[in-house]
Amino acid sequence: MQFSSAQKLSLSSFIEEELELARSMYTLLKSEYEALTDGNPKAITAISKKKLEQLRWMEQHLQQVNAFLLELGLTADTHGAEQAIARTGPDNKLQAKWDELRSVEVKLQRQNEINGGIITIGQRRVKQALDILSGKEGLTGTYGQDGGTQFSNSNNLHTKA
């Protein structure tokens, strides 16, 4: 079943909008990476607010796309979108845009994982510093034979400070 010109135009518009939203999010994630590596808390906070706003836009857009796909009798997911693109005919540019979108999504996921790793490492460092300052440094937890956690003081606090 082929789509009407209006349906093709709507689908094309949805893909273009989603691609633009994904590119904008990638730019934010790259900026977040720079702020994280520079240790700039004000920039991190500002970027976090922008990311939240961008996520809201992306969620609204996804709701519109899902409604469109359901209206066409397709599933509201990636498979439904791919079926819709296939229905537009062989000589369309939508598949190339769709492939580009999928590529940007992979980049988004990778960058988000990198940023998350930086945040996790920073949290560990803060925890270690707090443990040293509160005298908990050197307490290591291990599991005993009964499965319970056992703590032992393996380091001297004065040698850490």
Whether the pLDDT of residue 28 is over 90: the answer is yes
Look at 130 and 154; give whichever has higher pLDDT. 130
What's CA 23's distance to the chain center, in Å?
13
The pLDDT assigned to 150 comes to: 56
The pLDDT tens digits for 95-153 are: 999 999 999 999 999 999 999 998 888 778 878 888 888 887 655 555 666 666 555 55
Whether the pLDDT of residue 1 is over 70: the answer is no
Domain ranges for the chain: 5-104
- The CA–CA distances, whole Å, from 73 to 66, 67, 85 equal 11, 10, 14
Q: Rounded distance, CA 80 to CA 69, Å?
A: 7
Q: Kindly report the length of the chain.
A: 161
Reading the block at residue 49, the tokens are 């607010």
The pLDDT assigned to 146 comes to: 65
Whether the pLDDT of residue 86 is over 80: the answer is yes
The pLDDT assigned to 127 comes to: 83
Burial of 69 (0-12, 13-18, 19+ CB in 10 A): buried
| Signed CA dihedral, 31, 37, 39, 45: sign only | positive
Query: What radius of gyration do the chain's Cα atoms show?
Result: 24
The pLDDT tens digits for 44-67 are: 999 999 999 999 999 999 999 999
Largest Cα–Cα separation, the chain: 76
